[in-house]
């Protein structure tokens, strides 16, 4: 097995953290009881409108 440079290990480590975080967030959002509420809230915040009476 060839010797790997520290930067390569750092990239691998960051990739691992990112994938782990994505898996965790997916699990959280899938089985969270507040999933629907959170999605609605995020949608409202993203498409915020001062004239929206349903907010």
Whole-prediction pTM: 0.39
Locate the domains of the chain by residue range.
7-46
Q: How would you class 48 by CB atoms within 10 Å of its CB: exposed for 0-12, middle for 13-18, buried for 19 or more?
A: exposed
Residue 42 has pLDDT above 60, yes or no: yes
Flag the least confident range among 4-13, 32-41, 46-55.
46-55
**Which pLDDT score is estimated for 27?**
74
The model's pLDDT over 31-40, given as tens digits with 9 standing for 90+, comes to 666 667 777 7
DSSP 1-55: -PPPPHHHHHHHHHHHHHHHHHHHHHHHHHH-TTHHHHHHHHHHHHT--TT-TT-
**Which pLDDT score is estimated for 49?**
62
């Amino acid at each position: 097995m060839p010797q790997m440079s520290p930067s390569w290990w750092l990239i691998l480590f960051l990739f691992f953290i990112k994938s782990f975080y994505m898996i965790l967030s997916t699990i959280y959002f899938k089985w969270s009881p507040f999933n629907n509420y959170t999605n609605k809230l995020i949608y409202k915040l993203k498409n915020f409108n001062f004239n929206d009476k349903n907010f």
